[in-house]
């Protein structure tokens, strides 16, 4: 999970994920959204995302097409949601404990 968190911690990688969230895009199309970044750098970001399992790659002739791996992102979401759920459960338990203490006063 640490690798996934580090991977999405880079802003350009998050933007790439947003770009291919619902559309399959070629590497060149993705790179065109980052005029201030070299295609080589975008290619490296795509490689990191693919190796982490967050992107799927499909070859179509000489083109490489990318889509989001929804299953891997679902795991990341569940991991992050677990912190939120745990915090809410602790808050609920604290509130219930406080109410019980008030009832014994």
What CATH number does residue 63 fall under? 1.10.10.10
Could you tell me the pTM of the whole model? 0.75
How many Cα atoms are found within 13 Å in the side-chain-facing hemisphere of 76?
Answer: 18
- 88 three-class SS: helix
Which residues does the chain have with pLDDT short of 50?
none
Domain that holds residue 99: 2-103
Summarised one tens digit per residue, pLDDT across range 79-95 is 888 876 676 677 777 77
Separation of alpha carbons 23 and 9, rounded Å: 22
Q: How far is CA 49 from CA 32, 46, 81, 86, 100, in A?
A: 18, 5, 21, 28, 49
Residue 105, C-beta contacts closer than 8 angstroms, at least 6 positions apart? none
pLDDT reported for residue 1: 73
**Number of folded domains in the chain?**
1
């Amino acid at each position: 999970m640490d690798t996934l968190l580090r991977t999405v911690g880079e802003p350009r990688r998050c933007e790439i994920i947003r770009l291919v969230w619902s559309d399959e895009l070629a590497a060149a199309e993705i790179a065109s959204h980052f005029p201030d970044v070299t295609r080589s750098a975008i290619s490296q970001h795509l490689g990191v995302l693919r190796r982490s399992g967050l992107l799927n790659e499909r070859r179509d002739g000489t083109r490489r097409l990318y889509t989001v791996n929804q299953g891997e992102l679902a795991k990341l979401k569940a991991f992050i949601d677990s912190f939120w759920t745990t915090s809410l459960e602790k808050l609920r338990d604290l509130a219930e404990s406080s109410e019980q203490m008030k009832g014994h006063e």
